[in-house]
Chains A and B, each alone.
Chain A
Amino acid sequence: MAVTVKLPVQLRPAAGGAAEAKVQGATVGEALESLFAAHPELRERIADGDGSLRRFVNVYVGGEDIRYLEGTSTPIADGAELTILPAVAGG
């Protein structure tokens, strides 16, 4: 499955300046692994030592927070859009 990952400004320097990345995966977790394979520096930015997402990182599939879905196990369709954003905005 081809998936587009939209990267926030804070992560773009670690992805060669790109605002988005084309990756492969049938779940959010697989898509993120594919992203890390292409841009290894991104792994430590958004994932903890044990591989889970850092607590101030939000990931959305088609605009929905994956915490309301099945987390990193959330299935994604071909052509889906994944968005990574810092969690500290608003209020």
Chain B
Amino acid sequence: MTQKNRIAGGQIDRNTTCKFTFDGRTYAGHAGDTLASALLANGVRLMGRSFKYHRPRGPMTASSDEPNALVHLRSGARTEPNTRATTTELFDGLTATSQNRLGSLSFDLLAVNDRLSTFLTAGFYYKTFMWPAAFWEKVYEPIIRRAAGLGTLSFEDDPDVYDKGFLHCDLLIIGAGPAGLMAALTAARSGAEVILADEDFRMGGRLNSETYTIDDAAGADWAAATVSELANMPNVRLLSRTTVIGAFDHGIYGAVERVSDHIATPDAGKPRQILWRIYTQKTILAAGAIERPIAFNNNDRPGIMTASALRSYANRFGVAVNKRTAIFTNDDDGHRTATDLHAKGVKVIVIDPRADAPRARDYEVLAGAQVVDTMGRLGLTFAKVCLADGTERIIECGALGTSGGWNPNVHLTCHQRGRPVWNDALAAFVPDDLPAGMTVAGAAKGDMSTAGALAGGAQAAHSALELKGRLPAIPQAEDAPVNITPFWYVEGASRAWVDQQNDVTVKDVKLSHQEGFRSVEHLKRYTTLGMGTDQGKTANMGGLAIMAELAGKTIPEVGTTMFRPPYTPVAIGAFGGRHRGQDFHPKRLTPSHKWAEEQGAVFVEVGNWMRAQWFPRKDETTWRESVDREVLATRKSVGVCDVTTLGKVDVQGADAADFLNLIYCNGFAKLPVGKARYGLMLREDGIAMDDGTAARMAEDHFVVTTTTANALSVYRHMEFVRQCLVPDLDVQLISTTESWAQYAVAGPNARRVLEKIVDQDISNAAFSFMACANITVCGGLRARLFRISFSGELAFEIAVPTAYGDALIRRIMTAGAEFDITPYGTEALGVMRIEKGHATGNELNGTTTAANLGMGRMVSDKKDSIGSVLSRREGLNRADDLRAVGIKPIDPTQPVPAGAHLMISDGPVDAAHDQGYVTSACYSPNLGHHIALAFLKNGEGRIGETMRLVSPLTDIDVQVEICSAHFIDPKGERLRA
């Protein structure tokens, strides 16, 4: 438990020790550490295995662009794969394990892939697993799946909750480095509503990792003082541990706040993470820059990282990765690492390929030299350097910092298809086209010095908010120019990693070019360069540069790949928020739900509604027993069913009848007050859309019903017609589906039951078939009564305000007791409508016309209605069109299942000879055999024909007879009784 690499300084809290385990071993670190810095402090460089070759890997960065140091964090259901050790905040009790290994981390059996690397080059899978084709699913894929990938899921439910939140501000500032802090200070002092978001747990950006001073204070202290000033301003919201993941349209930004990731388990009532949607007028992107590595042979050994990462570990975390450190840099910035490390007692040597590399008094600088190879099986031990004179020198070192220059972090500037432009002085892309309302400041813009960042931040806030007056005073800070000679990879290097996460080498990029993948997007997909959890943040530029060289183009001519949200990986849980399990979509309960539960009903979900499916009795063992009983009892005496879920639309206004005439294909203008009528709506293309009834309650008032499933879309359609097609009709619509509880009371004794409840005369003379009226029940409660029938029996639908729905079902049951009233569910409802030949969604399935449904004559040619013109098209009116028919089996014991197809008895059974198909089927307890509704070519003319009903997929082959779809009471005498 020694922290042998811990050195003085940094922003860790040495008074707070955190014990943690990695691969079962216990270590100690401090508050303020990341998992990576704490492991490095303990001398652990090896943290993972690479994706393809299973090479030993350690951290390459100290930030969120980390490709290598990915671990399983936590254990059990909270296990989180592919977590970057470089950003994981250390806490007491943290548990991490390495991933993507077979065996132990230091002895990974799959490291054999590294020996096979000659074969495992770019496109290996495409080339190798081509044939035999049958091998793919059974042999190749399981092996590849076993070997590939990084972390694995726990396969347990995440016990934590995730939240979503909405924030509004005048100015969103992304990144709390010198530019972001200065911008926030400038904006906040003007009184603007400011949100400052930073992915780190400590604001300050690179100031925390550098030894610069700002005015007379250390940069990190200036940052801390500025953050505390901002924290005390009521118009500022500081969001640390918050990554802005995407720049969306019209000033909307997505951000993930890791509320509880830095503690073992979330505090009671607190979410693990919050996905914020931030609405802002203006945005300043101050996301800094990312240092890129240089490719040379075996540049991926643990201990090799970016020079700036070494500086972060030393200056911020008080960790010297190794007491002997080499720096390989093509720019002056790399020399800063050498200076800083030397000051902390590390033995440093600098290798700089530039002949004019700056000299140093305190340590050796090898100008014109290059690192050509490295050694060390599980971690760097030696670097082989080719000196300016061509001789080689072996340097002993346990850490090697590389600096190939800095890439401005343009990611979010490109989320709306903006493309960055090349800047020669920086040898990097800088932002160009920006999303509306966004400005860029600091290193993200290409202002690489601290002074430039501070001034740029202040200026950006000043102009974004259109502030009057002078800029605030800019504190004094270093203002070194960028001095760089582009240098991407060492000549002759082949096993030199360009993308360490995806194991893409210089050789792979060259091979891909040789095989014809010339577009940068093709390169990415062929080699996987730039994919994975880091999306190539440290890798892409190297790949582009090599490609440009091979193609004889410049880097800007090659161009970049597309940057897309999210900026860093986001847990699916954060996108889901609280919409999980039962909360994924709401459950809608009918007014009779509580009563139905008391009856022991079995429920089924229909368009979010929980509807009673059947009401089992104690002695019943199968659902069919219950359903048969409900059907027989209803047809014999009386049954009751909750039909509240049907969509209801109130249509009012002087022109209400004209409006219905337009939306229904059949006529409504002459429907008298007090009568309801079946209505069929068509789509404009002539296909049936929905059906229901419209009841004329008054001259200027209709109540329209829709099917349960289409309640929303039909209402939307009706509003479309009203507002877009007939804007000046005097008609108003409102959905009242939830306002009325409605019950169907059906059966020969239906009237006798309702007479005990309804205050008015409902005799056949006073209230005939299809009558409707506003009535009262139980001595005065306002209600509506409709004499409509879905079952084919004498039936009423009675509606009361929803609050009275529970009371009404109980009253109906009491009133019906003497008639053995039977509650029935959706199954019995379905059986009775099939027996009666009524269509539902199975028949109105988006392909059928009124003519197919046997309602062709309903389409009025005396008026205009939606769909009427195109319903008369030749193609929808052929002589052999499908027509709705009934089906019954010749052998009454056989089922006639829905989905089966009708074939000519002695003809071939194939798609070319298909005659039609079954849409709805059930067992009819009244007839004692199965029945079905079907669409059959020229169906009307084929009543009585014997056909074959086949379903080759389910081994169905049944002889059936075509019959009328009206199995019960075809003359409709019952419902008029």
Q: Tell whether A and B belong to one assembly.
A: no
Task: Report B's interface with A, CB cutoff 8 A.
Answer: none
